[in-house]
Amino acid sequence: MTERMQPSPPVRLAVREVDIAYGETTVVRNVSFVLETGTIGCLLGPSGCGKTTLLRAIAGFEPITQGEILIRGQRVAQPGWMLPPERRHIGMVFQDFALFPHLSVARNIGFGLRSMSSPQRRERVSELLELVGLSQAADLFPHELSGGMQQRVALARAMAPRPDILLLDEPFSSMDAELREQLAREVRAMLKREGVTAILVTHDQLEAFAMADMIGVLNAGTVHQWGTGFGLYHEPADRFVADFIGQGALLPARVLDAHQVRTELGRISSAQPHGLDTDIAAEVLIRPDDVLYDESSPRRATIVERAFRGAEFLYTLQLDSGSEVLCLVPSHHRHAVGERIGIRLEADHLVVFACPCAGSQ
């Protein structure tokens, strides 16, 4: 309690220029980010991108080969030295939950509270049981619980000692896909109620959006962008992020001036300068919601693929040049593959990348 009165340092976790290598192979390269107290961060990326390795390095299970990691301003890892995990005051939720099969739910949750007196421990355990909604299950054993309940026990167990930072390794990967987003929102609510600083690892962007305040997109061991979900979707820093987050297509364009480009579907302009040289070949990110269905539009495109999404159809359209864009259309506008429909571009901001093949064309 007294801890909360003191002003905590704003930066809870700092990762600075960290490399992690196994022998010759570097799996994490020059990663830096900070996480402020009370925020929930997320490392998002395809499998094999090094996100779990990075999380395990923060926990103290992997050594780092370059840079440093600080928790609450205290250095916990540097090349050649690491504070053992048991002295980092972290909490961790494992992918397989790792509940101790020989202990009841209550004793699993109380496992990390050895330094407390037993009345204190009992109080803290029942507080957490209530938080995760498992007060009825205190005396059950892990094998008697459903997957979702096991996960909540794992979460409560990790949160019980009030860790400086809570680490979650793909916590929803063993859950049904339909449940994941909802669970992620529930877990977020629990973490926020306890004011926990947490970092999550996942490959599922919807999970990341539902749970995290700040998201780092990782690929091949490097962080491509660190920002909010909204920022990643609407202002991706590079092609990888643009492609990985959300759906969309890259449409060839030519840069007109510092604020405008021209595409096959018309001009797109933005308030901020986009930073590319004038009159070079470029590519513009077109999200499905940037392309509107409009029968009165003179611009026509052929439907090459159709995916029914319930409320909408997601059409893949082929333009006259052969380029493709995606278009989200309310599902009462039903068209067949091969049909030509009218479309209109309505992009209020501009995401443009220099064309990698500009020189050769």
Among 3, 86, 279, 295, binds another protein (CB under 8 A): 86
**Min separation Cβ 143 and another protein, Å:** 9
Binding test (CB under 8 A) with another protein, winner from 167, 196, 250, 253: 167
Q: How far apart are CA 37 and CA 31, in angstroms?
A: 20
Report the residue count for the chain: 361
Interaction between residue 91 and another protein (CB under 8 A)? yes
CA dihedral angle for residue 136, residue 140, residue 144, residue 149, rounded to 10 degrees = 50
**Applying CB under 8 A, does 150 fall inside the site for another protein?**
yes
Binder to another protein among 81, 100, 230, 308 (CB under 8 A)? 100
Q: Using CB under 8 A, which of 21, 36, 85, 276 touches another protein?
A: 85
Q: Which is nearer to another protein, 26 or 228 (CB)?
A: 26
CA 273, 219, 63 angle in degrees (round to 5)?
125
Tell me the two tokens of residue 125: 């355990």
Among 174, 222, 297, 302, binds another protein (CB under 8 A): 174
Closest approach of another protein to the CB of residue 204, in Å: 19
Instruction: Find the binder of another protein among 5, 47, 114, 118 (CB under 8 A).
Output: 114
Contact segment (CB under 8 A) with another protein among 86-94, 219-227, 261-269, 298-306 equals: 86-94
CA torsion 339-344-348-352 (nearest 10°) is 60
Binding track, positions 10-49, relative to another protein; x by CB under 8 A: ----------------------------------------
Is 98 a binding residue for another protein by CB under 8 A? The answer is yes
Shortest CA distance to 250 belongs to which of 259, 240, 258, 260? 240
- Interface with another protein by CB under 8 A: which range of 10-18, 79-87, 121-129, 338-346? 79-87
Q: Tell me how far apart the alpha carbons of residues 207 and 193 are, in angstroms, rounded to a whole number.
A: 19
